[in-house]
């Protein structure tokens, strides 16, 4: 506290901020302070109150919310200020960058008009000057051809471009504070890296303080100067970013750090935090984290510990001092499940082939006209995918949105004749299957979907949900009655839960039910389509551990699709990288992650933020320019060259090869499991 | 199994019992008060309709010339009409017809509507186009005209033919709604999941699509019960369907409406029974809807009423 006084006065001071929605609290006494030019990261899981806190500062909460406490901007109280006064501050002193830029722009107005509007509300500028300034702002955030972009409508921009334009609008009036609420959550990693870069630049140009709300510890580690960790509507720990990540004093922070899979380390079980995030509706007395805390003591259950500590490192835990002194690793505090040794120990070459895909393509026609549809073009969704999975291994399929991952999966699961190319499942060519053969083969390939709520029928008790694939395979009744409780136990639920409906379970539990359903018919290959991307970090760790465990016990093969490279690194044995419908690199996880050969893979890897501030700062980034081109046009040559940093550095002669020939997926060295589709790969 | 940390400390529930959805829905259904009350009323109405003729010695058609338009009394419990016919005997006779017609028409039309609508929406393509064309065709046909033309030919076939005819012109709008609901359900992941598991399409419709549109179907069916009784009246009024001297609640109401202010017993007994019937059906429908929808707390039996957060 003393150091704070010596330094400049706080720009923003939040004290005892509390927000209630009706009877249910959302924020329960938050204290924050923000100095000029600094970046404060607010991190927490869903429902922790981080977004509500940000919105409360701006007075943007709906009328049903009651706000108590104090928010002072340069000493001026904002809580209870009439709307007209607040409007003068919003966009001028404090500006907001929202999570979903598509809904944050009015769809019927041009981007330029909206920025001009933001400028003219707070400054006395004529139209021409405001427009000129708007173009400068768009240029600043790296939008190409800013003059033309001003006349575009929001839907004509890609997600990354919209978020840049949003940032441009936010910094239009040189605000003192930028509030960014999950600004990159909806974006791909390479685009996320671009947008974070723009945010840094915007902050540098305007000298504004930045409040970055995120669930992603990696993003926070790379951006923030100070971090506040929120749990159940309160700040449970706050410290400088290095201090917090190196010496967490609250068991929740410690657990969060242990629960995140990391790009720079492989294998090993993660540290799951048991239980689910506390429901704010009915909090027990005492520390809200007590129910999940491995260090819980009797006194935790009686009174909620205050946020206390020294040197600006505060934690709301009775055992904070102990943790500060002992500095245990997350795995020393939390019980970590042991993953049994893999069931398969034969070398890869001798193992049975589970799935082999070569040269798979899938195009969708682009149709026009209402009565008579005519084909005006094609979307080359999948255009040359190669996959190879053997018994007992996990293949991670990585790619950004629009890279054709999902289309590839649906083509696999259709078990029909592919448009071109070949799909072999357990040695059987799917093109040659008849109906009965395909139906039989369905038992061997099962899928777990991304959204555990959408993939479970809300009107079916989960016992019936899990029995469904068995029924489809005409399993006898006794077998079903025996398998359902067994499966529930296997995924860590109780047999008695069979009578409950999906909505009675939390996200993580629902995903476990999905996994149980997929396992019911004892498949050989489990297709996991982004199975943890909808889950909170602490819950995600539990599901990932379960998957590892099941694989080891049952000798399953996984096709694990994800956009999250850290998760892939953690779980996979081999990895396959897709770009615009093509496989651009594949190989063992160690080979691909440690010595990426394709420039796209390198860019992808460098875009993933590490939850480790010193390492994150020390990294050199390869920032990709622009967005992926549209898949409706088929380019000659390499598809990645429009964004490729290697291509950009080549001389004209050597560029010719990239422009004319599509690079084949070539082995790095004979006998080595590492291939890349690049003419000039990194050695 | 190694040390597996379950994600939540769910309360240890009681021993597992097999049975699945059917049993769960039934147990929720029987726990709902509305269903019990509604069911009892319908049962009593049936008892009255079919037992009533035995407790009175009056016949619905034979006039009693000594009592014309008499108010309710010891001899004629519900009074008599202008021809001297006993209103009680007529009401119970009419109730027999209307109960059966109302229930069966609603049942038939809902079943047809849900199957046609769900198939059209689920399969798409030519099946969809064919079925939608059929629905549109029936919608633009003047159904009344067709019934008028066909019904003389069905004279011998009796009331069941009449029920089929009424149902046949009563399902199209529901089918269109079900079709559009199915089209959006078809894109949901749980339907996709079932397809990838190799579940037969008709089974997907019965297991996944229909339960998810059940709320609408049930509401629609309960409305259809009342509607069927009334449309039967309209037809009977023009001399089709139930013909004099036979009666239904509809014909009784049609005859009694204009005399209601002066001779209330001609109208209010039949009207009251119809209202009671529709009300009871609504109670049952609400209960059924709640039993099928797991998110409603009201109908859940106490032992599973706790939701695990």
Q: Render pLDDT for A660-673 as a digit per residue (tens, 0 to 9).
A: 888 888 887 777 88
Query: In chain A, what is the straight-line distance between the N-terminal and C-terminal CA atoms, in Å?
Result: 53
> Could you tell me if A390 and A326 lie in one domain?
no
pLDDT of residue B299: 40
3-state percent helix, strand, coil for chain A, nearest multiple of 5: 40, 20, 40
What is the full DSSP assignment across B124-175? -HHHHHHHHHHHHHHHHS-HHHHHHHHGGGGGGG-HHHHHHHHHHTSSHHHH
Lowest mean pLDDT among A4-8, A545-549, B52-56, B263-267: A4-8
Q: Which residues of B touch A272 (CB under 8 A)?
A: 5, 7
Where are any strands of DSSP class E within A113-185?
Answer: 177-181
B164 to chain A, minimum CA–CA distance in Å? 31
- Omega before B245 within 30 of 0, i.e. cis: yes
Same domain, A26 and A94: yes
Claim to verify: residue A313 and residue A386 sit in the same structural domain: no
Concatenated DSSP letters of B197-260: TT--HHHHIIIIIHHHHHHHHHHHHHHHHHHHHHHHHHHHHTT-SS-TTS--HHHHHHHHGGGT
Highest mean pLDDT pick, A240-254, A300-314, A634-648? A240-254
pLDDT for A195 equals: 86
A295 and A440 both lie in a single domain: no
Residues in chain B: 309
Same domain, A86 and A193: yes
Any idea which of A294-303, A378-387, B245-254, B297-306 has the lowest mean pLDDT? B297-306
Q: In terms of domains, do A142 and A206 share one?
A: yes
Enumerate the domain spans of chain B.
79-283
Q: Does A471 touch chain B (CB under 8 A)?
A: yes
A420-435: average pLDDT: 88
Interface of A with B in 481-540 (CB under 8 A): 481, 484-485, 489-490, 492-501, 503-506, 508-509, 512, 517, 521, 539
Q: Tell me, what CATH number does A396's domain have?
A: 3.40.50.300
Integer Cα distance of A290 and A281 in angstroms: 16
**ipTM over the 0.95 cut-off:** no
What's the pLDDT at A394? Answer: 92
Same domain, A58 and A191: yes
Contacts A–B by Cβ distance under 8 A: 150
What are A339-386's pLDDT values in tens digits?
777 766 777 778 888 999 998 998 888 877 766 777 777 888 888 899
With CA atoms as reference, the chain B residue closest to A412 would be: B196
pLDDT over 80 (residue A267):
no
Residue B122 has pLDDT above 90, yes or no: yes
Residue A634 has what pLDDT? Answer: 73
Region B193-214: mean pLDDT is 90
Verify whether the Cβ–Cβ distance B20 to A272 is below 8 Å.
no
Residue B278 pLDDT greater than 70, yes or no: yes
A503: chain B residues, CB-CB within 8 Å? 294-295, 307
Q: What is the pLDDT of residues B149-162, one digit of tens each?
A: 777 776 666 677 77
Interface probe with B: pick from A496, A507, A534, most Cβ of B within 10 Å? A496
**Mean per-residue pLDDT, A477-491:** 90
Q: Which domain holds residue A306?
A: 283-334
Is some CB atom of chain B closer than 8 A to the CB atom of A468?
Answer: yes
Measured in angstroms, the CA of A269 and the nearest CA of chain B are apart by 12
Partner-chain contact A460 B208, CB within 8 Å: yes
* Predicted pLDDT of residue B307: 37
Q: Say if A601 falls within a structural domain.
A: no
Residues A318 and A392 in one domain: no
Of A439, A455, A484, the CB nearest to B190: A455
Out of A544, A561, A595, a domain closes at A595
**Strands across the sheet containing A39-43:** A94-97, A177-181, A209-214, A39-43, A226-231, A234-240, A313-315, A308-310
pLDDT, tens only, A63-78: 788 888 999 888 888 8
Between B178 and A637, the more confident residue is: B178
Longest dimension (CA), chain A: 79
* Burial class of residue B244 in the structure, from the number of CB atoms within 10 Å of its CB (0-12 exposed, 13-18 middle, 19+ buried): exposed
pLDDT at B13: 38
For residue A98, the model assigns a pLDDT of 85
Mean pLDDT across A566-578: 90
pLDDT band at B6 (very low <50, low <70, confident <90, very high): very low
Q: Which of B7, B211, B304 sits opposite A492 (nearest CB)?
A: B7
A610 found inside a domain: no
Residue A202 has pLDDT above 60, yes or no: yes
Helix-helix angle B87-123:B249-256, to 10 degrees? 120
Mean pLDDT computed over every residue of chain A: 86
Chain B, nearest residue to A341 by Cα: B2
Over residues A277-329, the pLDDT tens digits come to 777 777 888 888 888 888 888 888 888 888 888 878 899 988 888 888 888 88
Q: What pLDDT score does A343 carry?
A: 64
State whether A469 and B198 contact (CB < 8 Å): yes
- The residue of A290, A292, A336, A459 whose CB has the most chain B CBs within 10 angstroms, and thus the best one to mutate to test that interface, is A459
Residues A179 and A308 in one domain: no
Q: Are residues A324 and A221 in the same domain?
A: no
Using alpha carbons, select from A56, A475, A19, A3 the residue that is nearest to residue A240.
A3
What beta strand segments (E) does B21-107 contain?
A: none
- Mean predicted confidence (pLDDT) in B4-33: 60
Give the closest residue to A45 by CA, choosing from A504, A508, A492: A508
When scoring B5, B187, B292 by the number of chain A Cβ atoms within 10 A, the one with the most, hence best to mutate, is B5
pLDDT of res. B305: 35
Instruction: Judge whether residue B119 has pLDDT over 80.
Output: yes
- Pairs from B244-247 (Cβ < 8 Å, separation ≥ 24): B245/B60, B245/B61, B246/B61, B246/B93, B246/B97, B247/B60, B247/B90, B247/B93, B247/B94, B247/B97
Instruction: Using an 8 Å CB-CB cutoff, list chain A residues near B6.
Output: 274, 492-494
Do residue B9 and residue A275 have CB atoms under 8 angstroms apart? yes
Q: Residue A409: closest CA among chain B residues belongs to which residue?
A: B196
pLDDT over threshold 60, residue A568: yes
Judgement on whether residues A352 and A315 belong to the same structural domain of the protein = no
The per-residue pLDDT for A5 is 45
Q: How far is A463 from chain B (nearest CA, A)?
A: 6
Gap from A290 CA to chain B (nearest CA, Å): 13
CATH superfamily of B79-283: MetI-like (1.10.3720.10)
Mean pLDDT of B135-164: 77
Q: Report CB contact under 8 Å: A458, B307.
A: no
Q: Let me know whether A529 and A380 are in one domain.
A: yes
State the nearest Cα–Cα gap between B304 and chain A, in angstroms.
8
Binning pLDDT at 50, 70 and 90, where does residue A40 land? very high
Chain A CB contacts of B181 below 8 Å: none
Q: Which residue has the higher pLDDT, A234 or B60?
A: A234
Mutate to test the interface with A, among B1, B8, B207, B293 (most CBs of A within 10 A): B8
pLDDT band of B28, cuts 50, 70, 90: confident
């Amino acid at each position: 506290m003393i150091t704070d006084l010596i330094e400049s006065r706080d720009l923003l001071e939040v004290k005892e901020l509390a927000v209630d929605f009706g009877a249910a609290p959302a924020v329960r006494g938050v204290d924050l302070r923000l100095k000029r030019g600094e970046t404060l990261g607010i991190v927490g899981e869903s429902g922790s109150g981080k977004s509500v806190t940000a919105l409360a500062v701006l007075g943007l909460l709906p009328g049903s919310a009651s706000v108590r406490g104090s928010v002072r901007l340069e000493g001026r109280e904002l809580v209870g200020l009439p709307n007209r006064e607040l409007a003068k501050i919003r966009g001028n002193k404090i500006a907001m960058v929202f999570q979903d830029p598509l809904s944050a722009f009015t769809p019927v107005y041009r981007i330029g008009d909206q920025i001009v509007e933001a400028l003219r509300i707070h400054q006395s500028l004529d139209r021409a000057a405001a427009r000129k300034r708007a173009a400068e702002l768009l240029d600043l955030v790296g939008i190409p051809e800013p003059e033309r972009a001003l006349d575009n409508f929001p839907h004509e921009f890609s997600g990354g471009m919209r978020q840049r334009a949003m940032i441009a609008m936010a910094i239009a009036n040189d605000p003192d504070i930028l509030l960014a609420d999950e600004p990159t959550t909806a974006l791909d990693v390479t685009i996320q890296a671009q947008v974070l870069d723009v945010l840094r630049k915007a902050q540098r140009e305007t000298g504004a303080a930045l409040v970055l709300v995120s669930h992603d510890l990696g993003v926070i580690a790379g951006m923030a100067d100070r971090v506040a960790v929120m749990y159940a509507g309160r700040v449970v720990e706050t410290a400088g970013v290095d201090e917090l990540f190196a010496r967490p004093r609250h068991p929740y922070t410690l657990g969060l750090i242990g629960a995140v899979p990391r790009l720079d380390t492989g294998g090993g079980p993660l540290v799951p935090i048991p239980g689910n995030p506390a429901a704010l509706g009915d909090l027990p007395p005492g520390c809200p984290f007590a129910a999940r805390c491995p260090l819980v003591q009797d006194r935790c259950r009686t009174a909620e510990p205050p946020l206390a500590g020294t040197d600006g490192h505060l934690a709301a835990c009775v055992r904070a001092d102990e943790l500060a002194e002992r500095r245990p690793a997350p795995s020393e505090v939390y019980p970590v499940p042991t993953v049994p040794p893999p069931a398969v120990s034969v070398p890869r070459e001798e193992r049975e082939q589970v799935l082999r895909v070569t040269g798979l393509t899938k195009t969708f026609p682009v149709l026009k006209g209402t009565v008579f549809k005519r084909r005006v073009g094609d979307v080359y969704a999948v255009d040359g995918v190669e996959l190879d999975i053997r018994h007992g291994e996990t293949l991670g399929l990585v790619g950004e949105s629009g890279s054709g991952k999902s289309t590839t999966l649906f083509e696999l699961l259709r078990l029909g004749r592919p448009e071109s190319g070949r799909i072999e499942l357990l040695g059987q060519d799917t093109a040659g299957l008849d109906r009965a053969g395909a139906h039989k083969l369905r038992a061997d390939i099962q899928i777990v979907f991304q959204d555990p709520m959408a993939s479970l029928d809300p009107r079916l008790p989960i016992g019936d949900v899990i029995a469904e694939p068995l029924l489809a395979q005409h399993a006898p009744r006794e077998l079903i009655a025996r398998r359902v409780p067994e499966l529930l136990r296997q995924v860590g639920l109780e047999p008695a839960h069979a009578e409950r409906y999906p909505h009675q379970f939390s996200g993580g539990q629902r995903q476990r039910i999905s996994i149980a359903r997929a396992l019911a018919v004892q498949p050989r290959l489990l297709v996991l389509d982004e199975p943890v991307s909808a889950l909170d970090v602490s819950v995600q760790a539990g599901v990932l551990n379960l998957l590892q465990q099941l694989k080891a016990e049952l000798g399953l093969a996984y096709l694990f699709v994800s956009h999250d490279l850290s998760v892939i690194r953690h779980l996979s044995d081999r990895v396959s990288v897709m770009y615009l419908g093509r496989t651009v690199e594949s190989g063992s996880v160690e080979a691909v992650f440690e010595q990426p050969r394709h420039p796209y893979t390198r860019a992808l890897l460098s875009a993933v933020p590490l939850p480790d501030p010193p390492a994150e700062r020390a990294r050199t980034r390869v920032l990709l320019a622009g967005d992926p081109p549209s898949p409706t046009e088929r380019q000659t040559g390499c598809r990645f060259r429009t964004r490729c940093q290697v291509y950009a550095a080549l001389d004209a002669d050597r560029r010719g090869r990239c422009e004319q020939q599509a690079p084949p997926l070539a082995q790095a060295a004979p006998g080595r499991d590492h291939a890349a589709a690049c003419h000039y790969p990194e050695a | 199994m190694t040390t597996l940390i379950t994600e939540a400390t769910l309360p240890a529930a009681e021993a597992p019992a097999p049975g699945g959805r059917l049993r769960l829905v039934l147990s929720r259904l029987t726990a709902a008060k509305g269903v019990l009350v509604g069911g009892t009323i319908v049962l009593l109405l049936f008892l009255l309709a079919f037992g009533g003729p035995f407790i009175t010695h009056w016949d619905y058609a034979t006039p009693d010339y000594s009592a014309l338009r008499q108010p309710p009394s010891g001899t004629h419990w519900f009074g008599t009409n202008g021809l001297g016919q006993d209103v009680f005997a007529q009401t119970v006779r009419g109730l027999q017809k209307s109960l059966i017609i109302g229930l069966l028409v609603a049942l038939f039309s809902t079943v047809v509507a849900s199957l046609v609508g769900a198939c059209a929406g689920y399969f798409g393509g030519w099946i969809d186009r064919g079925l939608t064309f059929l629905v549109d065709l029936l919608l633009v046909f003047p159904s009344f005209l067709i019934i008028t033309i066909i019904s003389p030919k069905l004279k011998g076939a009796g009331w069941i033919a009449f029920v089929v005819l009424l149902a046949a012109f009563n399902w199209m709008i529901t089918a269109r709604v079900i079709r559009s609901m199915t089209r959006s359900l078809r894109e949901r992941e749980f339907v996709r999941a079932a397809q990838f598991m190799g579940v037969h399409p008709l089974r997907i419709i019965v297991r996944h699509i229909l339960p998810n549109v059940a709320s609408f179907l049930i509401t629609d069916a309960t409305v259809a019960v009342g509607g069927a009784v009334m449309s039967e009246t309209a037809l009977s009024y023009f001399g089709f369907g139930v013909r004099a001297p036979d009666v239904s609640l509809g014909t009784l109401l049609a005859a009694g409406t204009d005399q209601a202010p002066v001779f209330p017993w001609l109208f209010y007994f039949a009207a009251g029974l119809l209202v009671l019937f529709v009300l009871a059906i609504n109670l049952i429908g609400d209960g059924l809807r709640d039993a099928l929808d797991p998110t409603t707390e009201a109908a859940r039996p106490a032992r599973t009423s706790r939701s695990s957060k």
